[in-house]
């Protein structure tokens, strides 16, 4: 008497098939988790860079142009890093526009002008820098909270 093909082939292979499917599901979850962790890490790094750039910009505009060429170069380098991170975080034009507004506020006008004179502590430029930094950070925080 011959056994049915189901009992002969499918039933013995079902634990193996279920194990392979389980591995695939777990692997997919881990891959998604790593991708999500990298995403959140990029946002956290971008937020730290915003704070560093803001601090450097306030220090930069508080000094004469001839006294802060190194700070200007450091700001430019940090903007390159922040630009890369913002591009990786989101291609959304709202975030990109907010980043550009922050960058223009700091690096526009007489940025890296050797003959620029220091601004007084209560100058509007400092308030504008803080405002643009806050807006960009707020957008990144909102994006951080919206993605699980």
Q: What secondary structure letter does DSSP report for 114?
A: T
In Å, what is the CA distance from 16 to each residue of 21, 24, 28, 116? 9, 12, 18, 73
> Structure pTM?
0.81
In Å, what is the CA distance from 51 to each residue of 28, 47, 62, 148? 35, 6, 17, 24
Torsion of CA 110, 62, 80, 107, to 10 degrees: -20
The secondary structure element, H or E, covering residue 69 is helix 69-89
pLDDT tens track of the chain, all 148 residues? 567 777 777 788 888 889 999 999 999 999 999 999 999 999 999 999 999 999 999 999 998 888 888 999 999 999 999 999 999 998 888 899 999 999 999 998 888 888 888 899 899 999 999 999 999 999 999 988 887 6
């Amino acid at each position: 008497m011959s056994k049915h093909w189901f009992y002969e082939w499918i039933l013995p292979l079902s634990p193996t098939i279920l194990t392979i499917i389980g591995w695939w599901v777990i692997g997919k979850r881990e891959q998604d988790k790593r991708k999500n962790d990298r995403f959140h890490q990029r946002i956290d790094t971008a937020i730290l860079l915003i704070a560093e750039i803001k601090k450097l910009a306030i220090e930069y505009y508080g000094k004469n142009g001839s006294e802060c060429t190194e700070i200007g170069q450091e700001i430019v380098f940090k903007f390159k890093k922040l630009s890369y991170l913002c591009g990786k975080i989101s291609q959304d034009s709202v975030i990109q526009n907010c980043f550009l507004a922050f960058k223009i506020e700091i690096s526009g006008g007489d940025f890296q002008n050797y003959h620029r004179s220091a601004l007084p502590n209560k100058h509007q430029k400092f308030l504008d820098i803080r405002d643009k930094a806050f807006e960009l950070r707020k957008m990144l925080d909102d994006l951080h909270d919206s993605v699980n």
